[in-house]
Amino acid sequence: MTKIAIIGECMIEVSGELFGATQQSFGGDTLNTAVYLSRASSDIEVFYVTAMGKDALSLGIIARWQEEGINTEFVLLDEQRKPGLYLIQLDEDGERSFMYWRNQSAAKHMLSHPAFDSIVAELKNMEMVYISGISLAILTPEDRDKLLALLDKLHRQGVKIAFDSNYRPALWETRQQAEDCYQRIYAITDIALVTDEDESELWGNKCDEETIQRLSEFGVKQVVLKQGSKGAQYQNLELDDVSTTVPTIPVENVVDTTSAGDSFNAGFLSGHLTGKSIIDSITQGHLLAGCVIQHKGAIIPKQFTNPVVKTFDNLVGV
């Protein structure tokens, strides 16, 4: 069975209308991808690497991950800290805005946890390690350097590195700090999963060709550029200059765009890691994301994603 370790942060999610009814769940970019990837393929074992508290809420959330089929043996328990929290507010078009409380979250300090080194020894057994820009941004500068050094070592040992840029300006001290960090991670990235909007905001480029050229110069081997309603573009930067664009699948009833990119990544990786064509893998990403955005919350009930996942085996790409 293919093994992937996903490193990041899960927070408590509160969503709803301003001064209206709210509901509590959990989420976070990498955790969302872990859940949907676990649902998308029974041939992939998904390990989640993070830190949580020892409080009842933390333990309950971890139990939910286990119910999703996620391997939680790399989830560290912090005696002193608890999960962060975020609030989602939706406008009438389903677009969301966020507020965060995460400065003292357990995940922010996971690399300084006494048991983190025991996880390091196991990561070399993974086919792939997946992280996001948020995974890096929440860490202290010292821990960020430590994680980048670990990923570099794993990469030299043959472990594939997948990186979702997921740029959030508020999490970085300066834009230059983010650029420097991203350039370091891109140098060891086998698959970059990026969005056109994030790339434009961080680097100031005006077209997708600039993004592709920059990622190639940084050393990225393969890139999936998510282009919103236009679809997604794939290019193997090691082999040729030919790109493949797969149009998105239109969705009429958009309720909540939270986790759209995270679920796309899960659908794509479920195909990529099991040997499917690029077209099939991207199509899986589109299908899964299209399902997720028709429901509220970062992680929607299985009953909605199960029918979509069942269609994956019937895809025949070129």
Q: Which positions are annotated as active-site residues?
A: 262
Phi, psi angle pair for 102, to nearest 5°: -140, 5
Give helix then strand counts, H and E, for the chain. 11, 13
Polymer length of the chain: 318
77 CB contacts (<8 Å, ≥6 apart)? Answer: 51, 52, 53, 54, 58
From the list 284, 140, 184, 177, the residue with the least C-alpha distance to 224 is 284
Contact of 266 with 33, CB cutoff 8 Å = yes
Q: Which residues of 98-135 are buried (b: 16+ CB within 10 A; e: fewer)?
A: eeeebeebbbbbbbebeebeebeeebeebebbbbbbbb
Element containing residue 236 per DSSP (H, E): strand 232-236
What gap in Å lies between CA 318 and CA 310, rounded to an integer? 20
From the list 305, 225, 229, 303, the residue with the least C-alpha distance to 263 is 305
Q: Work out whether strand 44-53 and strand 22-27 pair parallel, antiparallel, or are unpaired.
A: unpaired
Count CB-CB contacts under 10 A for residue 253. Answer: 8
300 CB contacts (<8 Å, ≥6 apart)? Answer: 291, 292
Q: Work out whether strand 128-132 and strand 2-7 pair parallel, antiparallel, or are unpaired.
A: parallel
